[in-house]
Each structure stands twice: as structure tokens, then as C-alpha cells.
Amino acid sequence: GGQNVHKDRQLQSTAFPSPDPSVASVMENTRCFANRFSDYKGALLPGQSAQDAVPAVRATIDKILKKVPVDDCDGGLYDGPAGVAYMLYHVSECPLFSEQRELYLQAAKRIIDNMRAAFLLGGAGIYAVAALIYKSLGSADFVKPLTKFRNLWEVCAPISFLECGSDELFVGRAGYLCAALVLNKDQITYICQAIIESGKQYARRKRKPFPLMYSYYGTEYLGAAHGLSSVLQMLLSYQDALSGAEKDLVWQSVDFLMNQEQNCNWPAELGAIIERENELVHWCHGAPGVAYLFAKAYLINKKPQYLDTCIRCGELVWQKGLLKKGPGICHGVAGSAYVFLLLYRLTGNSKYIYRAQRFAEFLFTEEFKSGSHSVTSIYSLFEGLSGTVCFLVDLLQPDQSEFPLFTVFV
């Protein structure tokens, strides 16, 4: 289960004319459903209380547990069983599911105990989740995976430890920092310095007019998956580990990326021009993922332009976030809706809870079910229902919501 470059950048050629002429212009966009919901008018949706949502979430988890392979231990957090284990852990932490807590944690433990590290940093993510689950079960065994996780720092410290690009989120150093962030661990100064040095060298070699840049398999991605934004986000998350000069480089790069905005969105790769009809509005590529960097930047220095940027991301997601690529968090409806939960936490404005509720509602409609592309691993954390479950649970406790394993609030 190697996590390769996202295939969802390829153009879709199956455009069907819409039966309803009033929405035809929006439906020409093959990537998303038309958002026909009216916007917030001061009231949340009554039908989405815990009473209604908890049984739906439990049923979805039962469905996931029937699908998740117990003997196939490949894959990392992205699309393997380890992501399901993380979801079970996340749900078990929510008081609304206290009756199921033990059941879910034991299921998570069975999954994680079965895992073998699929590849280098996929392994790091698995150790990190294993430590969370053991700790939650009150087992002292959490020290073992934690130690294994910590020891991996030396593997990813050399500047070019991966040939394809050593810094990005899924297999590179930013991912190591991301997992460490959840666990609150140290030994990160070297990793941060390696990321900065690597970015400086690359930017210098390619004669970039800004200080830090990275590539993954030869492409200069900007978005959360594989790109500049999540690398910078992780550096901001660990800014205490940076020197003053290093911080300056990071902030210059944040502002550089902010200026790459094209009408509330960012192209998948540096320098590309966004085509409106066909733009990617995904967590992995585009505004719904880049928003987390500017949220982090805003939380650190409270500059209003960063919050404004996040708010613009949210407006685009409201228009174009009812994606056709399934229910997941990477390039699906739950990933879009997480932007609203992020904006709720940043602003306290209930409008964003309402919008998230509408997206949750849409997940259960016939239009969504019949009009969505099928998903390869329906149980997975990033493309399948495990991420959706995390979103539905977070919608019930929006004050604590955070995109799985991608927090900006610590």
C-alpha cells in the first residue's frame, strides 16, 4: 500500500446534462453536486441532535467493521486498517459513545495488533495510533510503540532520506511531525531544521523568488497532500523549535503561499492557472486543505488577513464542496465539511455549524448515493467511511472538532 500521488487530479470526462435546467450551469461542474441548500438564517437543523446522529454513527461503524479486512495488514493510516483503528479511538473518546467505548477500543486494538509496518513512515503513523489506543485502554504497552515511533526520528533526519521528496505529509518529515503533534513528543528540532534546510536548498537550486519550496515525485505541490501548505503548517506547529531566522523564512513562505490564491482557491501545483469549471476543491488539493495552514497562522499571530483567507476558503467550499468522490475526508464531502467545523472553531459563528449540518444531511441523500463515484476502500480513514464517522462525531461536539490527525489547535 504505497501512498502515491493522488489520481484525482485527472480530468473527468463524464458530464451528464442536468434534468433541472435551473441548475444546469452548476451541474456542468463534473466534480461536485449543486448546493441547493439555503444558507444559514439563524437556526441550526433540529433533526441532527445526538439522539438522531448517534445511532447513524453506530450503524456506520458496524458497517465499517464488517468490511475492514482483519488478515490484510497492509496500508497505513490513509487507506489501511490503521485508519479504522484511529477512527475507533476517536469515537471512543466521545462521551456520547461511552457505552461502546470498550468495544470500540478492543476492536481498534485487534486491528492495530495485527498490523505490520507497511513501509517506513506509514509505520510511524501506525506506532502513533497504537500508542494512543494502548494508553486509552490503560495499558502500559503504549511505551513500546511510542519508543519505536520516537526512534524513527533518526531515519527521517537526513535531508534526502527519500529520493522522491523527503518533506511532504504522507511519507515524509511533515508526516512525522504531524504524528508527533498528536502525541506531543520531542526530538523534533532536528527534523524541523532538516525540513528548512531541504526547502532552502531546493528553492535556491530552482531559483525560486521565495525562500522555501519542496517537491514530491518531481511536482511542486501546494496543497495539504504532498504540498507546501502542510509542510509549512507543521513548521508553524513547532515554531518554538525554530530559530528567529528560520521562523522568518517560514512566515515569508506562508505569505508567499497566501499570495498564490486565485479566487478563493489554490492550484494543485505551483504556477498553474485554475480553470473555474474544473477546479479541485479538495482537502488534498486546494482550499479545503490549505485553509488549515492559514488557520494555524491566524491562531499564532491573529493577523486578520489569515482568518479572511480561511473564510474565503469556506465560501468556496459551501459552493463547490458537495463532491462526487465519495464521503471521505481527502476528496469527499466530509473533508469539505471539516472546513466549516474549522471556521466555527476560529470564529464561533453558528453559521458554520449549520453548513456542516447541511453537508452531513447531504451524505444521507439519494442524490449523493446515486451520483457519487465508488470508493475503492470504503472503510478507509481518508477516502472511506472512517473519516466520515470522525466528521459526524465531531459535528456533535464542534468545540473539540479537528480534522483527523491534522490538528491546528495544539
Q: Between 136 and 233, name the residue whose CB sits nearer to Zn ion.
A: 233
Q: Does 334 participate in binding Zn ion (rule CB under 5 A)?
A: no
Q: Which stretch binds Zn ion (CB under 5 A): 4-12, 29-37, 251-259, 343-351?
A: 4-12
CB 197 within 8 A of CB 159: yes
Q: Between 92 and 386, name the residue whose CB sits nearer to Zn ion.
A: 386
C-alpha cell of 373? Answer: 463515484
By CB under 5 A, name the one of 330, 339, 353, 389 that touches Zn ion. Answer: 330
According to the annotation, is 330 in a ligand binding site? Answer: yes
Q: What angle do CA 389, 395, 396 make, to 5 degrees?
A: 100
- The span from the CA of 319 to the CA of 342, in Å, is 17
Q: Total residues at the site for Zn ion (CB under 5 A)?
A: 4
CA dihedral 270, 254, 321, 323 (to 10 degrees): 50
Q: Between 169 and 356, name the residue whose CB sits nearer to Zn ion.
A: 169
CB 353 within 8 A of CB 340: yes
Shortest CB 185 distance to Zn ion, Å: 27
- The span from the CA of 290 to the CA of 253, in Å, is 13
CB 310 within 8 A of CB 254: no
Shortest CB 289 distance to Zn ion, Å: 9
Q: Which stretch binds Zn ion (CB under 5 A): 148-156, 193-201, 329-337, 386-394?
A: 329-337
C-alpha cell of 380? Answer: 478507509
According to the annotation, is 284 in a ligand binding site? Answer: yes
Q: Does 133 participate in binding Zn ion (rule CB under 5 A)?
A: no
CA dihedral 387, 92, 355, 181 (to 10 degrees): -70
- The span from the CA of 374 to the CA of 384, in Å, is 10
Q: Does 284 participate in binding Zn ion (rule CB under 5 A)?
A: yes
Q: Does 331 participate in binding Zn ion (rule CB under 5 A)?
A: yes
Q: Between 145 and 326, name the residue whose CB sits nearer to Zn ion.
A: 326
CB 251 within 8 A of CB 196: no
Q: Between 282 and 351, name the residue whose CB sits nearer to Zn ion.
A: 282
Q: Which stretch binds Zn ion (CB under 5 A): 39-47, 89-97, 195-203, 331-339?
A: 331-339
Report which residue's Cβ sits closest to Zn ion.
Answer: 284
CA dihedral 258, 264, 269, 273 (to 10 degrees): -120
What is the binding site for Zn ion (CB under 5 A)? 6, 284, 330-331
Binding residues for Zn(2+): 284, 330-331
Binding residues: 284, 330-331
